Structure 1
Amino acid sequence: MQEFTYPYKYPKNYKGSGVPTTLSTIDEVPKTFTPIEINNLILKNRIVVSPMCQYSCKNNSGLMNDWHLIHYSNFAKGGAALIIFESTAVQQEGRISYADAGVWDDCHIPSMRKIIDSIHSFDTCVGIQLSHAGRKASTQPPFLENSRQSIPENDPSGNGWKVVGPSPIRYNDNMSMPREMSVEDIHNTIQAFKDAAIRSLKAGFDFIEIHAAHGYLINQFLSPTSNKRTDQYGGNFVNRIRILLEIIESVRSVWPRNKALGVRLSCEEWTNDGWNMEDTIHLVEILNQLGTIDLIDCSSGGNSSNQKINVSPMYQTPFANSIKSIINTPLRTSGGSSSSSSSTESGDSRTKNQIKVSTVGLITSGNEIESILQDGKADIVMVGRQFLRNPFSVYQFANDLNVKIDYQLQYYLAQRK
């Protein structure tokens, strides 16, 4: 534990919020509360706060503020192992809304560092989700009126701008028609992800997640429903995934090899003619061979207004389970023989099991988390809206599993019933 800024040291037997202490009626620690290593990132338990947009930056600045400081620090006090900051735009026109967080300028670093330092003081790791909204940009925050439609670029409020995408195909009739990106635009965006990674390193993040899901720019390139290009970034599968592979390569060129890097995928578009699980499996096989990704975050949907999702508890976990089975398949060398490792261009040796898999989506109890982990369907579990309902959900999960964990020291009285 890091020593907090109080006039005393933590007790010697205090392990930190979210870490098991003594057990009550069970013989071993639930897997939920066992540590895990992702690359060199050590998580104290398997519970991660999923990225969730807050739409709380002022004056089109992209600057995080005291709302974000309190919001994220609460999850850290509550014992989460890793907190991933909300979708953060790598370019100003890549924001979902005018109130989104950004990392397109060095001016964003100090406010982020303040929050990161706070989270680290509670022995919790911090990640950032790098994103570009593409054709789904320039909208109202979802909790305001007219949130399901675009703000025009000439809107008197000054809160709208021209949106871009792989092809001039709008998301729905209430959204703006995107301008088709030129190859130069694409290269500039790839560079923006790289520059954002450099800033993320300077700010002190432990983990980067590249947002390639939920119908945002990278996902738009991946899917044949939104990408009708005929150049090297469109058409066949290889061309449609090119931008993601180039972004990963660009980010990894500046993000140290010993720091964890992940990608969030919409494994299924939930339409007949869209990106599907077979495409995801093919992509993950390629990512696995490249050896530059440490975590595959399995989500779904968001790229088609025609999607039909059968929502139920843990409904996305089967996607993670399928990806996990691929990750656990032995690598093949170029000669075709089985091997437990593969050499990358940088000379790294890497095994399949080094890539971890996460699941997310309507997971609200400790028993659900434990069942996913015990069945080997995922390595970690990301929790979103449940943390909004209760920032101290880790305490609830421990109660669900009948395991005693340390609370934040100043809240120790809450452990007594």
Structure 2
Amino acid sequence: MADLFTPYSFKNLTLKNRIVMPPMCQYSVQAEDGNPNDWHYVHYVSRAVGGTGLIIIEMTAIEPDGRISDQDTGIWSDEHIPAYRKIVDSVHSYGTKIGIQLGHAGRKAQDAEPPMAPSCIPFSSQYGMPRALSTDEVEEKIQLYREGARRAVEAGFDTVEIHGAHGYLIHQFHSPLTNQRKDEYGKDYALFGEKVVQAVKEVLPEGMPIIMRVSAKEYVEDGYGIDYIASICERYKHAGVDIFHITSGGEGPVGSDGGPKAVPAYQVDLADEFKKKLHTPVIAVGLLDEFEVAQNVILEGKADLVAVGRGMLKDPYWALHASEALQGEQKVPKAYERGFPRKNK
């Protein structure tokens, strides 16, 4: 029976354990012209030292106005590649695999003037009125995702995750609440995301899996549920998505944290249901900071991988501490062995 510390393989991606650090934007750290800096280097490499199996770099914009804020990272230029390659090489040196999440904030871009979206519907009264993308511009965005993926491959990443959740651009296209277009991208809600997946797949080497993050549930009136998004994701699956990263919310006042009523593992059943509907591997996420809770997700077969977000912001060595608490197999760096007495026996 698999547990958190059982290796996991899919296509050419082999992980030493089932623990994932999900994408988490750093916001307050100035990424000049989209380039990751020393903060990002230490932030990610320290989690590799801490035993994480897979790290997924924060939502990385495919163009400058695709950033949530101007403080965030991007991958719209070949000039970004060396900084990412430095992070990737160091993460690999600790036996951890690393991916990057490609995204575009769409109408949730806080510093874009104006932001852009499928339709002229603002996120809230605190956000700017977005302009609707022309059909030609939509096609251009698809190519920007493709180029971002190409650069990710050149930087040495092991996998690419496409952000289709939390109310960002792809989510805006596949949600009837935010897509009121009259062209083909409005008549077919899955078309934009499907073409993005196809474009990304074109530039990835054979055997590199594509991950896609989707919100399985919208927390607003008339928002979609899991049956709707599962039908959309069938299209994404056939286009080339290999693993789905199951989250929820983000299109309204309730964000990806599930709101004040959220409890540990509140999204796990969504991941479990999604896994059964699409027969694909899934990553579960959502207040899985407690070691035993995360362990049970794998033991009960509800997900293939477990993403621990806020827990890793608090503790870079979450995976090592989990292995200590749960008697799991995990290699502690020699320099830190004195801090883990059980591992020295």
With the length of structure 2 as denominator, give the TM-score of the two structures: 0.94
Query: Which residue does 1:338 correspond to in 2?
Result: none
Matches within 5 A, 1:338-353: none
Contact 1:39 1:294 in 2 (8 A): no
Choose 220-229 or 205-214, whichever is displaced more: 220-229
The answer to whether the Cα contact below 8 Å between 1:128 and 1:200 also exists between their aligned partners in 2 is yes
Corresponding position of 2:97? 125
Alignment of 1:229 with 2:178, yes or no, is no
Instruction: State the partner residue of 2:143.
Output: 191
1:170 maps onto 2:119 in alignment: no
**Post-superposition shift, 1:55?**
2.1
* Larger CA Rg, structure 1 vs 2: 1
Q: CA deviation at 1:291?
A: 6.0
Matched, 1:210 2:182: no
5 Å-filtered alignment, 1:252-267, equals 252-267=201-216
Two-structure CA RMSD over aligned residues (Å): 1.7
1:400: Cα distance to partner? 2.8
Q: In the alignment, what sits opposite 1:8?
A: none
* Correspondence for 1:324: 275
- Which shifted more, 304-313 or 380-389? 304-313
Give distance in 2, aligned partners of 1:184 and 1:317: 39
Q: Secondary structure of 1:233's match?
A: helix
Counterpart residue identity of residue 284, structure 1: C
Supply the distance in 1 between the matched residues of 2:61 and 2:290 (Cα, whole angstroms).
31
Is 1:357 the counterpart of 2:279? The answer is: no
What does residue range 1-400 of structure 1 map to in structure 2 within 5 Å? 31-55=3-27, 58=30, 60-139=32-111, 160-235=112-187, 239-288=188-237, 290=238, 292-305=240-253, 309=259, 310-328=261-279, 355-400=280-325
Q: Which has the higher helix share?
A: 2
Secondary structure of the residue that 2:295 maps to in structure 1?
Answer: helix
Q: Matches of 2:96 and 2:310 in 1, distance apart?
A: 19
Find the residue that maps to 1:51 and give its secondary structure.
coil
Confirm or deny: 8 A CA contact 1:57 1:63 kept in the other structure: no
Count of aligned residue pairs for this structure pair: 339
Q: CA deviation at 1:231?
A: 1.3
Say if 2:219 and 2:251, in contact at 8 Å, map to a contact too: no
Note the residue ranges of structure 1 that are not aligned, 5 or more in a row. Answer: 1-28, 140-159, 329-354
CA drift of 1:213 comes to 0.3
Give the structure 2 partner of residue 335 of structure 1.
none
Does the CA-based 8 Å contact 1:125-1:206 persist in structure 2?
Answer: yes
Contact 2:6 2:18 in 1 (8 A): yes
What stretches of structure 2 of length at least 5 have no aligned partner? none
Shift of 1:317: 0.6
What letter matches 2:133 in structure 1?
A: M
Q: Distance in 1 between matches of 2:197 and 2:234?
A: 15
Following TM superposition, by how much is the alpha carbon of 1:272 offset from its aligned partner in structure 2, in angstroms? Answer: 3.0
